């Protein structure tokens, strides 16, 4: 997981690259930090996708009946405008 400090450093290096350029060492650091950032985003996305459960309409209806509509209204006839 990437830290706030690492993200700040990525931004600092970007600004410096635009204004005055980077040394070879800074370019390597920038590439390393960008890779960390990309890997962190991919890991987060993968975790979100793995937590998704695909259900058929009947199971969805049962889940909504048990859980209730997330908008706070009765699920089957709430008229809230949300797609159910």
Count of domains observed in the chain: 1
Q: Is 60 left (phi over 0), alpha (psi -120 to 50) or beta?
A: alpha
Q: With CA atoms as reference, report the closest residue to 9 among 34, 43, 40.
A: 34
- What does the radius of gyration of the chain's CA atoms come to, in whole angstroms? 23
Residue 59 lies in a domain: no
User: What's the start-to-end Cα distance of the chain, in Å?
Assistant: 35
Q: Give the model's confidence band at 78: pLDDT under 50 very low, under 70 low, under 90 confident, else very high.
A: low
Query: What CATH code is carried by the domain that includes residue 10?
Result: 1.10.287
User: What domain range is 8 assigned to?
Assistant: 4-53
pLDDT the model gives residue 18: 97
Over residues 39-65, mean pLDDT: 90
User: pTM of the predicted model, to two decimals?
Assistant: 0.65
Residue 81 lies in a domain: no
Residue 18 lies in a domain: yes
Per-residue burial over 25-39, b if 16 or more Cβ lie within 10 Å, else e, is eeeeebeebeebeee
Residue 70 lies in a domain: no
Average pLDDT, the chain: 87
pLDDT at 33 over 80: yes
């Amino acid at each position: 997981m990437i830290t706030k400090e690492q993200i700040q450093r990525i931004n600092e290096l970007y600004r410096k690259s635009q204004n005055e350029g980077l040394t070879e060492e800074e370019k390597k650091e920038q590439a390393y930090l960008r890779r960390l950032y990309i890997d962190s985003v991919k890991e987060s996305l993968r975790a979100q996708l793995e937590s998704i459960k695909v259900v058929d309409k009947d199971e969805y209806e049962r889940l909504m009946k048990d859980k209730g509509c997330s908008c706070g209204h009765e699920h089957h006839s709430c008229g809230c405008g949300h797609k159910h």
